[in-house]
Amino acid sequence: MKRFLIGLSALGALGAFGFWAVTSPDVFAMVRGRSFADLSGQPNLENGKTLFWAGGCASCHATPDQADRTRLGGGLSLASPFGVFIPPNISPHPRDGIGAWTAVDFARAMTAGVSPDGRHYYPAFPYTSYQRMTSVDLRDLFGFLKTLPAVEGKAANHQLGFPYNIRRLLGGWKWLYLDGKPFAPDPQATASLNRGAYLVEGPGHCAECHSPRNALGGIFAGMRFSGGHDPDGKSGAPNITPDASGIKDYSVADIAGILSSGLKPDGDSVGGDMGLVVMNYAQVPKADVDAMAEYLKSLPPIPSQKP
């Protein structure tokens, strides 16, 4: 019995060590991370500005109840079945924002979901899409963010119950849903189609809202873009594949018009959170919006599923 208890204790200790190692932010970032060799060059601020608006940074991180969407003090409440997430201050404030971060800190957060102080970020921050971004684009986006107003004050903490308040568990979640791979262009596709794919799958993170998710909050891989349910459970994001239940009857020009103006071909307009997305895309070059529309129209049609 004594030997059995010793063996059981050793097995438990080994299991605890394995869990601690597998869920470590540093271990995950090391195995799935990238070298970011292109971060040291001079940032292209115009490209960074495009990525800022294409990436929807202001939609979540702009300080609520003020008109300037470049004041990124955070504080918006995002309700979900897991609790309430509060996007943080990502202004260049040296204490309360990301002003003291390095470009590597920023790239690591965007692609591995790991903070400079070694904590997992919750995937309400869509790093599962941002991981597709190139090192050059990450450098340019970070450079642009540093030109924006520094906003004093930290956002409130997330309001999460047990077990979702245990960040370490996200280490296991990431092994399932975060592969760490940058976008790979299709050599058979045109330049505009590849550009649209990159923007939709990467900075635009369209699948994050427009896809159904499982009980762990992971996207069903074979049903991307076929429509999703808002985290608050009150509404949903529509199917944006060329299925009859989606955008089958829309032309590429129709889709581009919706993205940039919010107006549908029938004269109706988009509503809800998509209105903020349209405000973002109105700042994006027309060629990029057209490329996104081209890619969305090229997706395989997937019928909408009941959430």
Tens digits of residue pLDDT in 5-56: 455 455 544 444 455 556 777 776 766 667 777 788 899 999 999 999 999 9
List phi, psi (to 5°) of 219: -75, 135
Q: Which of 177, 203, 235 is the last residue of a domain?
A: 177
Which tokens in the block code for residue 149?
């107003």
Please give the pLDDT value at position 113. 94
- Asked whether residue 280 is domain-assigned, the answer is yes
Q: Which residues of the chain have pLDDT under 70?
A: 1-22, 28, 30-33, 231-234, 306-307
Q: Do 30 and 76 belong together in one domain? A: yes
**Residue among 207, 237, 244 at smallest CA distance from 225:** 207
Q: Do 166 and 67 belong together in one domain? A: yes
- Asked whether residue 81 is domain-assigned, the answer is yes
List phi, psi (to 5°) of 114: -120, 130
CB neighbour burial string for 162-173, b if at least 16 within 10 angstroms, e if fewer: eebeebeebbeb
Q: Which of 146, 177, 208 is the last residue of a domain?
A: 177
Please give the pLDDT value at position 233. 59
If one counts every other C-beta atom within 10 angstroms of the C-beta of residue 244, the result is 11
Q: Do 144 and 109 belong together in one domain? A: yes
- Identity of the residue numbered 157: N
- Which neighbouring-strand residues pair with 229? 236
Which residues constitute the domain of residue 202? 191-298
Q: Which of 143, 177, 211 is the last residue of a domain?
A: 177
Assign residue 38 a region (left: φ > 0; alpha: ψ between -120 and 50; beta: otherwise). alpha
Burial class (CB in 10 A: 0-12, 13-18, 19+), 22: middle
Q: Do 228 and 83 belong together in one domain? A: no
If one counts every other C-beta atom within 10 angstroms of the C-beta of residue 6, the result is 10
**Counting runs of H as helices and runs of E as strands, what totals does the chain give?**
12, 5
Please give the pLDDT value at position 25. 73
In whole angstroms, what is the distance from residue 305 CA to residue 298 CA? Answer: 20
Q: Do 80 and 154 belong together in one domain? A: yes
Please give the pLDDT value at position 39. 86
If one counts every other C-beta atom within 10 angstroms of the C-beta of residue 20, the result is 12
Q: pTM score, two decimals? A: 0.90
In whole angstroms, what is the distance from residue 146 CA to residue 197 CA? Answer: 27
Please give the pLDDT value at position 4. 47
- Asked whether residue 15 is domain-assigned, the answer is no
Structurally, the chain folds into a number of domains equal to 2
- Asked whether residue 9 is domain-assigned, the answer is no
Q: Do 142 and 213 belong together in one domain? A: no
Q: Do 57 and 97 belong together in one domain? A: yes
Which tokens in the block code for residue 206?
């369209």
- Asked whether residue 183 is domain-assigned, the answer is no
